[in-house]
Chains A and B, each alone.
Chain A
């Protein structure tokens, strides 16, 4: 896959909640090659501190040469990104990694928790473009509270896929965890679960799918320096022993390929 380093202009800045920001960037080369589940490495700031780029999933890639990222402010890098303004440029490198492998003929279950919702919008869009029967598909989203999910719900609704939302505190949708939804759902064993979210959630989704023989693809995170297979810093335990590297073997893995240490 071709990778591109682009000076991407910020087209739109949306503060979707006190802690979350969505940026729309003009990055035509990256947008053209991006697939759901791919990520980009973005330089926050121009100096030597913070030094490393920060990885973000591609939230959407729009045919007019734009990409979106959706992130939460957790530390210095994301704080700097949250202070950017429309018209500024960011050094963006991507698209990187192995994305979701869409099984066009099989029912799709998109399961997102917290910021893990971010890459699923792009996935939902591409699944809808496969032009197949969407009636059996499901989107299941969970967050800590209203702010985590509510702002994105209209974007997911535009695809017309059945959508269910839960929040930990019940401030939006039903109260509970997204994994509760999964249990309540009648998941067709011939379907595919596409999940992204915090690791404990993914571990539970993986176990649920393993128990029922349902195919399961998960997008996971790790700390990264290069994002392209050069530093070997992003290792995770593989189920077959040894390590896999999130930036080149993932970030989307078949759940059964990973060792879930919980």
Chain B
């Protein structure tokens, strides 16, 4: 044991402390996923049918929110341009389907490569800065993607692109049926959840978390903080691209509005609503957000007048998001 290791230990120990107590974390996640898996059954037993569509949509956004939580919650980097990756995924899907290449096994590699490339380039520039400058630069790169989508006049430009067929998967048509679409989405979400929690628990994830608390200390220990953050950024972008693929298939439509900076703001809000840094929190946040939107917009077309102040009040008066509130209701205190 060298002295170097002694110096990193406090930082890593501190960083390894999860947002929620470790024992409860898998229980909440397992309950959550079981409840989600039973959703189509509940609909066949009499729950309103449009709930299945709504939850599918929420799960698609949950994938994006989850990927954002990897860099925002775990890495401490507030990326304000995350909707760009959803847009890249959605546009790659839309363009390839329009050009007659609707097989997901063709589309997905293109999406992953495009998102990885965009993340690598924009990440390399953005990660040179910290804090507020990082927020603003990611915002600006998101806008670049937005204007690029607007300029794609061959694919609808400002008006967006309507898709007349959905993607196939290895020759099958799982996206044509509402229930099978739901399960494909849920499986994708579960896969991403497992992948990201594995990453977070690994040495790499601990270093990423530790760098959030004290980048200098992590650097001194011999980790390349810049590279770790960039890799996390690229992984996060690729996963968000998957949600773009599903979103394009669900809405049969792709438009620049998918990439607007308000969309990136909504994703951040989903993560914070659920609880920053606890991965199942991002899923709960996405579900809560889309349900609130659905209920409020059912009341009035001016639902944002209610929703905006709700966000403000939520930020002012709660800490730790919904996961934190669930934890308090459970009667255990974290701090």
**A is bound by B:** no
What residues make up the interface of A, taking CB atoms closer than 8 Å to B? none
What residues make up the interface of B, taking CB atoms closer than 8 Å to A? none
